[in-house]
Structures are given as structure tokens and as C-alpha cells.
Structure 1
Amino acid sequence: MKIDFEKIAEEHIEGFKGGEGRLDTRNYVDDRARIMYSTLRPGPKSGKHPHAGSFEVMYVVSGELTVHYDGSEEIIKMGQVHYCPNGHQHWFENKTDHDVIYFAVVPTLG
């Protein structure tokens, strides 16, 4: 199945998961997964959130994403992946002066 993000309307989410600033995202959602292609401008951050009954994989397409995972800070650069397993929590932010573009998948488990 082909997913063409160019054909999905971009959403502008203020305070994603209780965070600060705006997340620009194009999402494909069905009963099995949420698949996202997102841009985080300089400065915004998501709110801290757990993954219960799911997990998240975030692949950085361009830029550098700072992820706070189970109390530690990780820098995820272009071509790298952050994985937040089921039962763990994270939040992320863009501490740089350029956009971060990432692709993420959150499946529904069970």
C-alpha cells in the first residue's frame, strides 16, 4: 500500500501532547497504526507522554532532534532512529536553529 504524504492535508498542532509551540504534520491513520511525516520548527517541544499498548519509531529525515527518553537525553541526527518501546515514555524538542523533519510510526498492539 502506497502512502503519499503530499496528498494528505498538513495539520498544525499547537502544544502537541501538552508541549509548547507548533508541530506541522501529515498523518495516515487506520485501526492498526498512525504513520506520520512531521516538521518541528526551531524551539517547539512535545509534552512528555507514555507509550502503553503501542511503541514509537522516529526516523530523522533531516536536522537534529533532541529526545528525552526515560529520564535521559539523546540527540538523534539525520539518518538515525529513536525507538520508544511499549511501557516507556519520552518527549522531544528542536533545540537547533533549523527545521527537523522526521517520519514516525506508532502501531496499535494487541
Structure 2
Amino acid sequence: MVTCNIEGLLEAAATKSSRKAIFKEGLLDTGLLLYPPGQSTPDHKHADIDEVFYVVSGEGTVRINNVELLLKEKDVLYSPHGEMHGFYNTSPHNWVVLQVKVKVN
């Protein structure tokens, strides 16, 4: 068993989004997505990765197959492989999202 306290990972760059790795083992990869206000990850998809996203703090917009959803603290989203998705911090505060990736092929 391995544990990690994320407090030291929460500092986001003021001008760009970033990903801070937490655990990577076999087919599993976890990390924190940090989005300062106005920052984003453009729409994209993964052919061989399923993802789960949990909003740790803040809120922002996720676009899934061209449909926009507002995600806020404590929301959870599942994005299966092959699904187009993108993240956009449209709020005036930092948006922190826990990302869990599992390779499926």
C-alpha cells in the first residue's frame, strides 16, 4: 500500500494548466489537473484509456462530445476510451481535478 498527501501538489502555476503525478503502477495512472482561471485542456480523446475525474475544488466546464457540463467540487465524471473531452476553467478561482487513468488495450 502507498499513500500520498496532495497538499504539496496543489500549488498551480499562475499562467498555465499543469498535471502533477500522484501514482503510476501498471495500467493505472493518477494525477492532479490544476487549472488557473482561464486555462484549459483542448478537446481530445484516448483510444486506449478510460478516465475518471473527481473535482477536488473549484468549478469549470467539461465538454464531452460537444456537450458542455458544469463540474463543481465533489462531482465525479467517467470518460470511457474513444470519447472526446476537454476541460475549461471559466471561473475566477483555481480548479483542481483528480484524474484516474486506466489503460484498457
For normalisation by structure 2, the TM-score amounts to 0.82
CA–CA distance in structure 2, aligned partners of residues 6 and 73 of structure 1: 28
Q: Cα distance 1:8–1:2, how it changes in 2: closer, same or farther (>3 A)?
A: farther
Higher relative contact order (CA 8 A, sep 6+): 2
Structure 1 gap segments, 5+ residues each: 14-20
Kindly report structure 1 stretches of 4+ aligned residues shifted beyond 4 Å. 5-10
Which residue is equivalent to 1:18?
A: none
The share of aligned pairs that are identical, in percent, is: 26
Length-normalised TM-score, structure 1: 0.79
User: In the alignment, what sits opposite 1:43?
Assistant: 38
Cα distance in structure 2, aligned partners of 1:100 and 1:61: 8
Q: Which runs of 5+ in 2 are unaligned?
A: none
- After superposition, the CA RMSD in angstroms is 2.5
Among 95, 99, 103, which residue is 1:104 paired with? 99
Contact persistence 1:37–1:104 (CA under 8 A)? yes
Aligned pair count reads 103
